[in-house]
Structure 1
Amino acid sequence: MHDQRIVAGTMPKSELIYYVATSLDGFIATADGGIDWLAPFEGGTQDYGYAAFIDRIDAVVMGSATYEKCLGFGEWPYAGKRVWVLSSRDLDAVDADVTITPDEPGAVMRELEAQGLRRVWLAGGGLVAGEFRRHGLITGYIVSVIPVVLGNGIPLLGHSGDQEQLELVESRAYPDGIVQLHYRPLDPDTLSS
């Protein structure tokens, strides 16, 4: 682990990475929340960098619909990770490491930073991701574009605010047609100079 120096009175900012799969037409799930369209791309020898990514994650943030979808997987996929679920509903936590909160995105990020959680996966859904983006909290996007056109569904980013310029950090094409794109937001101050 690398040394992070804390300047008097400040705290290192946490990274919030939106790591997600999307159809070519920009949907992360069907209109009813279905993800069966991803099945032909799962279970093979290729993990698209997931194992390395999850190993470097300190915490996971998601909305209630994503949480409920994960509960249907059988085994809890985030065992050993701290998880924050944004929800205004009264949900049961599946694990002691799961926090259900009605807090807004900025408050959640302040809590994560206060707990020293530096690398956070924004696991979805699209509306929650849109809210974090609208508040300027997403520091990176790792988007796997799946060679499928859904026609409609849950958008990659819900009502997410103003235009944002991104810088391509890396791209990788896989033999099955998936293209993974890694972007980071550009500082608006550098765009105007």
Structure 2
Amino acid sequence: MYKRIEGVRVSAYIAASLDGFIARENGTVDWLPSPDETDQSGDYGFSEFFNSVDCLVMGRNTLEKVLEFGAWPYEGKRVLVLSTSISQVPDQVKGKAELYAGSLYALLKLLRSEGCSRIYVDGGKTIQSFLKEGLLTDITITTVPILLGNGIRLFDGNEHDIPLKHLETNSFQSGFVQSSYEIEYA
């Protein structure tokens, strides 16, 4: 059932509230501290992680959220947007992002044939889709010390247990706790 692509690592790197939400019900992430509000921990390892990936795959909703932030944060990195509902990327990201509407497995095969060995997937639905198809290899979750009470869950509706192998956990002065796991599909 699960079909990994040899030589391709598919990684998620995401923040979640202590009660497991990645956004409020309306999609906002105003509860995440801005970079100037963080302590000496800086970006919590995100730059190092981002520099280790060949490309980024996100969903349309995540793209729309990123566009609200202003400047395009992914300069110089290939970005693919998963969508069957739009026919072209917004003008702000023409030449910076490309659309993809096929199967995830075919996408990974294509990226591998083009020399990609590590792919970053971002966005709740996108992460869930890669996980459901058995294509996600590892995940890093930074838990933010806040209880939202409700919102959009990172993991929702798994059809079966998915065992994880703990790789490492780091804690920061800010109260953030970051854990990395390898996904061990049955």
- Structure 1 unpaired stretches of 5+: 1-10, 189-193
Work out whether 1:115 is the aligned partner of 2:114. yes
8 Å contact kept, 1:127–1:158: no
CA distance in 2, matches of 1:160, 1:137: 14
Once the two structures are TM-superposed, the CA of residue 187 in structure 1 deviates from its matched residue by 5.1
Aligned partner of 2:79 among 61, 79, 83: 83
CA distance in 2, matches of 1:95, 1:13: 30
CA distance in 2, matches of 1:158, 1:68: 21
Aligned partner of 1:169 among 161, 164, 167: 167
Q: Secondary structure of the residue that 1:85 maps to in structure 2?
A: strand
Deviates more, 1:71-80 or 1:99-108: 99-108
- Normalization by structure 2: what TM-score? 0.88
Query: What letter is aligned with 1:148?
Result: I
Deviates more, 1:107-116 or 1:143-152: 107-116
Once the two structures are TM-superposed, the CA of residue 100 in structure 1 deviates from its matched residue by 0.9
Deviates more, 1:154-163 or 1:78-87: 154-163
Aligned partner of 2:126 among 100, 125, 128: 128
CA distance in 2, matches of 1:162, 1:59: 29
Query: What letter is aligned with 2:43?
Result: D
8 Å contact kept, 1:173–1:180: yes
Could you list the structure 1 runs, at least 4 aligned residues long, displaced by more than 6 angstroms after superposition: none
CA distance in 2, matches of 1:157, 1:88: 22
CA distance in 1, matches of 2:59, 2:144: 22
Query: What letter is aligned with 1:176?
Result: S
8 Å contact kept, 2:11–2:136: yes
8 Å contact kept, 1:27–1:150: yes
Once the two structures are TM-superposed, the CA of residue 118 in structure 1 deviates from its matched residue by 0.8
8 Å contact kept, 1:134–1:162: no
Specify whether residues 186 and 92 from structure 1 end up closer, same or farther in structure 2 by C-alpha distance, changes over 3 A only: closer
Q: How many corresponding residue pairs?
A: 176
CA distance in 2, matches of 1:187, 1:92: 34
Once the two structures are TM-superposed, the CA of residue 20 in structure 1 deviates from its matched residue by 0.2
8 Å contact kept, 2:89–2:98: no
Once the two structures are TM-superposed, the CA of residue 102 in structure 1 deviates from its matched residue by 1.5
Matches within 5 A, 1:48-67: 48-67=44-63
Once the two structures are TM-superposed, the CA of residue 50 in structure 1 deviates from its matched residue by 1.0
Q: Secondary structure of the residue that 2:149 maps to in structure 1?
A: coil
Q: Secondary structure of the residue that 2:141 maps to in structure 1?
A: strand
CA distance in 2, matches of 1:120, 1:15: 6
CA distance in 1, matches of 2:139, 2:62: 18
Aligned partner of 2:89 among 81, 89, 92: 92
Deviates more, 1:165-174 or 1:44-53: 44-53
Q: Secondary structure of the residue that 1:138 maps to in structure 2?
A: coil
Aligned to 2:8: 14
Work out whether 1:38 is the aligned partner of 2:32. yes
- Normalization by structure 1: what TM-score? 0.85
Once the two structures are TM-superposed, the CA of residue 158 in structure 1 deviates from its matched residue by 3.8
